Structure 1
Amino acid sequence: MNDYKLIPELIENFIDFPKPNHTMEMFIGDFELRNHECSIGVNGKIYFSWFPEYGNYFTGTFLFGDFDKYISNPVDYFDIYIDEKKISTALIIKCITSLPSTNLFLKGVLTDKIFFGDKDLKIEVINFSIPNLRSINGNVVRDKKKSIKARILLENDLWRIEIDKKSNYHELRDQLLIVGGYDLLYSGKITRLDGTHFDTGMVEDIFMNLDLFLSFINGRNTSSLFLNGIKQNEIVWSDYTSKTVDVFEDNFYPIFERNVDGINLMWKEFSKICQSKKGQIFIKNILHWYIQSKKQAGLLDGSIIMAQTGLEILYHYITDNKEDLNKTPSKLRKLLIYLEVNDKEIPLKSKEMINFSTNFLDKKYQGIIGTITTVRNDLIHSKEKFIDIISFQLKFEVYNINLWLIEISLLKI
């Protein structure tokens, strides 16, 4: 029993949904919409929605104000005030009137960060939730009933981030597999390594980098949501800003079926890249093409083209744009030299690639690069030479090799 108590406790869930895709109401009551032209009082609610429209919205009925001025300029943005405190900015997207004219229904979308509380206060810890993150076996933690392998620890020079898989993760995942969509699957917290207090401005970059990193290890977009700033064990502010999250898919992702300590080492290197503006822009761009390709946003053919766009971005980052090679094959060969990858490292299952390279390409074009660039060029230019030779299986293998090259490149940088 004493040994059990030495195991770290599971991070508390500040927000739990009763079911997937649950609409979260952040505020119910009276609020005011203001801009330079008019002021409109509304009685209603402000809420976060997953389906059918992802994001933050308000709905309500008209209470008072200069509605005629709004009608004359209906595309204006409004600041939202509650008790004289601005919490966000919104655009009215629906207005339904009926007799009498004051009987008016409004709906709006929030277009900026949404913040409740005093964001200027310095805090000790920020708690947050993560939706739709795949299952990763972490370090052991305990709840009141059992211990589970649930904790991912991420540290860099300044910050300590702990992320715990929920104790009922598999039940939540099974529900998502049935109904689809979104649910909160992990809870996390962030603190300073030196234990000092901090403000919201100090964590903007670290959360941006965390969201990028989580999306990389997830293979699909996810983000930290529903942030709560904690001071002396009390919530002093809440940030309910919506961020990019893809619908849930429980895909096997072998590159990250590894020791959880390895994920922390990856995070340290990832954080170093993101310290510079150039590095952060590079990570955003490469992950955009990688994730769009991985989830086949352009179907299989388009995903091959997207992935090779990502490989060219990697080439330019690694060479610092000092080598101006015009042709994609030359760039990718240079990238392979940097990665110390040769044709013997092609996964054994890529038999169609090996067959195509050996039997249909000129000797000078044979190998990984010749094969993937030939297939990509055929998709773009529809060369008759290969139109009957490039099979679905060959394209699928090329697609997977492209993703593999991006993954090992990011792990090596």
Structure 2
Amino acid sequence: MKIASQNHTPNSPIVFEDILITHINGHSLEKPIASQVVLHFTPTFRTVIESENLPIEVNDHRMESPFVVTIADKGEVPVVLERLNEPISPNGKSSGALALAKSPFTVIHRDEKITSIRFSVLNFPKFFGGRDTWIGRQCVGATTLTYDRLQVKITQDLSLSQNKEYLNETNGYSVTLNGVIRFTDGAELSVDEAKDILRGLRAFLSFARGAACGLTLVNTTLPDDKSIFFEWGTTYTEPWHCGYDTWLPTIVDGGKNLSLAFNGFWMLYSNPNWKNVLTRVIDLYLNSKSTAYHVGIILIQAALESLCSRIADPKNKTDTTGEYLSDSIKHIGLCTSIPSSCKSLAMIFQNNSSVNGDGLIAITKLRNDIVHPNQKCSDNTEAWMEALKLGQWYIEMILLKQFSYSGRYRNRLAKVGESVFEMVPWTIQEPIG
């Protein structure tokens, strides 16, 4: 099947490929329907099958969620009717669109073997440092992520430099990175292995961005050098501006720091005892950054509890949740004191002996105040914001420590006037005497 040309203009739809619909709900069509698979960003994220010749009979399935269409060379795809435009032609055809019931949706056959996977990334920020390369007269950020035999090469999309201003203006969406995945020993990947790698890579890049970023245009090379799509669509992606709030220093050594963090991330991701905890914690962390402060505090405490269940002994019955979290984080060598930049948070607990200046205990106290009826801090938005930022900092530091990361990071808790670029705390030697 023909793979359509790509358009990386910000906010514009991405066309995946031309397809033929042969059946609707198992009923064979007299003539296959020529269609295209398209990812739209506005007004909402959605992946659709668009056609100028949908039969009016699809309207009978409007109340079905979902129904199934069969695609030549692909198989069955669950869809819902998004629209059927008027007027209907004399032959009972109309333009319209069927929305994929699930996105991304895997379309490669399960028994295929894969030699490499090419992909694009939405809304990852511009970075330099690592293996930057010149393409024509343009220097683009590039780096290689490795773990054991897994190799992921990523390069900034050539259009990002010219698109960045428009992305800043519209707070929109665009392809910003392209990459290729392969095993360095030349081994083939199974479809299940590829799914697992893509899941982990999405989580890692989203954590590095500090906001959800989806992979898209995922296509594979088969042993006979044939290129076919692995999946259609993408996962949820936060708008462009959300990527500014990241721990990753992107300007000077972003590529190098990505590579440093990736090896440790994948070591945990490859561990069955860590995989689901790791992806769940990152999901909670990302969602805490895209919601109201008080909701974010609830999510960030859930993330902290999940992480601490892996880095320390189970909670003692005599411990409060705050004490348990604090002891767990002290156990791996991190400071739990409320930073001097969190003045409002420190102030509301300054006379509370049970908090005693401890950030983790303060976060749990605020969380309890939010979810229980007798609220004492409901009007202190500044304290909520600081507690949430502090909780997110703990998540970042715990994860980076577990990754054995030894590079720089952006400390968004730094006081006004101080540099936000710091080495991670565990690499700094305390002065003697």
Q: Which range moves more in the overlay, 124-133 or 192-201?
A: 192-201
Q: Which runs of 5+ in 2 are unaligned?
A: 403-433
Q: Which range moves more in the overlay, 300-309 or 31-40?
A: 31-40
Pick from 378, 386, 410 the counterpart of residue 399 of structure 2.
410
C-alpha distance 314-85 of structure 1, shift in aligned 2 (>3 A): closer
Is 1:154 the counterpart of 2:166 in the alignment? no
Shift of 1:317: 2.7
C-alpha distance 96-20 of structure 1, shift in aligned 2 (>3 A): closer
What TM-score do you get using the length of structure 1 for normalisation? 0.82
Is the 1:125–1:230 contact (alpha carbons within 8 Å) kept by the matching residues of 2? yes
Equivalent AA in structure 1 for residue 297 of structure 2: I
In the aligned structure 2, how far is the partner of 1:203 from the partner of 1:304?
Answer: 34
Q: Which range moves more in the overlay, 141-150 or 165-174?
A: 141-150
- Other structure's SS at 1:220 match: coil
In the aligned structure 2, how far is the partner of 1:282 from the partner of 1:307?
Answer: 14
Is 1:256 the counterpart of 2:231 in the alignment? no
Q: Which residue of 2 aligns with 1:11?
A: none
Is the 1:325–1:331 contact (alpha carbons within 8 Å) kept by the matching residues of 2? no
Q: Which residue of 1 aligns with 2:426?
A: none
C-alpha distance 325-212 of structure 1, shift in aligned 2 (>3 A): farther
What TM-score do you get using the length of structure 2 for normalisation? 0.78
In the aligned structure 1, how far is the partner of 2:399 from the partner of 2:332?
Answer: 10
C-alpha distance 348-171 of structure 1, shift in aligned 2 (>3 A): farther
Equivalent AA in structure 2 for residue 404 of structure 1: W
Q: Which residue of 2 aligns with 1:132?
A: 123
Q: Which residue of 1 aligns with 2:413?
A: none
In the aligned structure 1, how far is the partner of 2:288 from the partner of 2:218?
Answer: 30
C-alpha distance 403-15 of structure 1, shift in aligned 2 (>3 A): farther
Is 1:329 the counterpart of 2:315 in the alignment? no
After the TM superposition, which segments of 4 or more aligned residues of structure 1 sit over 6 Å from their partners?
Answer: 115-119
Is the 1:148–1:167 contact (alpha carbons within 8 Å) kept by the matching residues of 2? no
Is the 1:211–1:224 contact (alpha carbons within 8 Å) kept by the matching residues of 2? yes
Is 1:272 the counterpart of 2:267 in the alignment? yes
Pick from 73, 85, 89 the counterpart of residue 78 of structure 2.
89
Pick from 45, 51, 75 the counterpart of residue 54 of structure 1.
45
Is the 1:129–1:184 contact (alpha carbons within 8 Å) kept by the matching residues of 2? yes
Shift of 1:38: 5.8
C-alpha distance 393-76 of structure 1, shift in aligned 2 (>3 A): closer
Q: Which residue of 1 aligns with 2:36?
A: 45
Equivalent AA in structure 2 for residue 19 of structure 1: T
C-alpha distance 217-15 of structure 1, shift in aligned 2 (>3 A): farther
* Corresponding residue pairs, total: 392
C-alpha distance 306-73 of structure 1, shift in aligned 2 (>3 A): closer
Q: Which residue of 2 aligns with 1:4?
A: none
Q: Deviations over 1:246-294 (max 9, x none)?
A: 2221544463215643432321221122224442211221112100112
Alignment of 1:104-183 (within 5 A): 104-111=94-101, 122-146=113-137, 148=139, 150-183=141-174
Q: Deviations over 1:163-207 (max 9, x none)?
A: 111244232221111123210001111121213343433322111
- Other structure's SS at 2:51 match: strand
Shift of 1:330: 2.8
- Other structure's SS at 2:259 match: helix
Query: What's the % identity of the aligned pairs?
Result: 17
Is 1:288 the counterpart of 2:283 in the alignment? yes
Is 1:228 the counterpart of 2:219 in the alignment? yes
Equivalent AA in structure 1 for residue 80 of structure 2: L
In the aligned structure 2, how far is the partner of 1:197 from the partner of 1:370?
Answer: 49
- Other structure's SS at 1:373 match: helix
Q: Which residue of 2 aligns with 1:8?
A: none
More helix by percentage = 1
C-alpha distance 302-361 of structure 1, shift in aligned 2 (>3 A): same
Shift of 1:153: 1.6
Shift of 1:366: 3.9
In the aligned structure 1, how far is the partner of 2:74 from the partner of 2:335?
Answer: 60
Equivalent AA in structure 2 for residue 245 of structure 1: T
Shift of 1:148: 2.7
Q: Which residue of 2 aligns with 1:395?
A: 384
Alignment of 1:380-391 (within 5 A): 380-381=371-372, 383=374, 385-386=376-377, 391=380
Alignment of 1:305-384 (within 5 A): 305-319=298-312, 321=314, 323=316, 327-343=320-336, 346-358=338-350, 360-362=351-353, 365-381=356-372, 383=374
In the aligned structure 2, how far is the partner of 1:411 from the partner of 1:68?
Answer: 51
C-alpha distance 200-58 of structure 1, shift in aligned 2 (>3 A): same
CA-based RMSD of the aligned residues comes to: 3.4
- Other structure's SS at 2:141 match: strand
- Other structure's SS at 2:189 match: coil
Q: Which range moves more in the overlay, 273-282 or 227-236?
A: 227-236
In the aligned structure 2, how far is the partner of 1:127 from the partner of 1:244?
Answer: 19
Q: Which range moves more in the overlay, 103-112 or 228-237?
A: 228-237
